[in-house]
């Protein structure tokens, strides 16, 4: 499996549908890698590959919804567009609960499918930007001393200089000196920006 920035991984056991969608998506400018089943996709999957998955719901072995849920459980961030010829409210709810970008019924409107895939790539781009910003924030915070990190955490909680000084048993002047160092190392005097950096580097759901 190749790694292409605009690749659609097309998973559908219906050969006619697969062929038709391949032609459509390639004409629309996407690279397409077709798979006749979810199992074939999982067996040949390159974990470094990125792209958008288009998966049919009703397939022998592993269904499209089971594929979606399995990828989500593994932390796979590739967007998934679900297509089906037998859609119902329950399947639709299950797809969106599993993180699907869209849930489309066959025969799929060509333009709607392309728009759903574009939305998937936009989600992927946003994830990349978020990961890059988090890396940059972690690199900035890694430059701080332990004491500066402690003060930054208190600043991010909205504590004033006198409160921080009292909690640490130091003078307000000492805290101000540390805050000046923080501003220099982080490249900002904005408390809002410092809070943003802390949340990017140490999102709440990762806290012990």
Query: What is the model's pLDDT at position 5?
Result: 61
- Rounded CA-CA distance 29/119 in Å is 15
User: Going from the N-terminus, what domains does the chain have, and what CATH number goes with each?
Assistant: 7-131 (3.40.50.2300), 144-201 (1.10.10.10)
List, for residues 158-205, the tens digit of each pLDDT value. 999 999 999 999 999 999 999 999 999 999 989 999 999 999 988 765
Structure tokens at 57: 């719901």
Averaged pLDDT, 25-34: 95
Query: What is the model's pLDDT at position 38?
Result: 95
Query: What is the model's pLDDT at position 76?
Result: 85
Please enumerate in sequence order all residues whose Cβ is within 8 A of that of 112, keeping only pairs 6 or more positions apart, or say none. 104
Determine phi and psi for 11, rounding to 5 degrees. Answer: -115, 105
With a cut of 70, say whether residue 3 has pLDDT above it: no
> Closest Cα to residue 20, out of 140, 113, 132?
113
């Amino acid at each position: 499996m190749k790694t292409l920035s605009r690749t659609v991984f097309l998973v559908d056991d219906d050969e006619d549908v697969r062929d038709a969608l391949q032609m459509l998506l390639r004409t629309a400018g996407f690279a397409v890698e077709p798979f006749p089943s979810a199992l074939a996709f999982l067996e040949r999957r390159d974990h470094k590959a990125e792209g958008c998955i288009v998966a049919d719901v009703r397939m022998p072995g592993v269904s499209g919804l089971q594929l979606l849920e399995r990828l989500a459980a593994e932390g796979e961030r590739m967007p998934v567009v679900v297509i089906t010829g037998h859609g119902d409210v329950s399947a639709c709810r299950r797809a969106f609960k599993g993180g699907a970008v869209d849930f489309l019924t066959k025969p799929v409107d060509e333009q709607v499918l392309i728009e759903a895939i574009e939305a998937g790539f936009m989600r992927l781009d946003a994830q990349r930007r978020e990961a890059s910003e988090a890396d940059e924030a972690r690199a900035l915070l890694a430059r701080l001393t332990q004491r500066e990190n402690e003060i930054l955490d208190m600043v991010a909680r909205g504590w004033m200089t006198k409160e921080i000084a009292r909690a640490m048993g130091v003078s307000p002047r000492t805290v101000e000196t540390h805050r000046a160092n923080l501003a220099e190392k982080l490249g900002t005097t904005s408390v809002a920006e410092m809070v943003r950096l802390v949340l990017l580097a140490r999102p709440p759901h990762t806290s012990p």
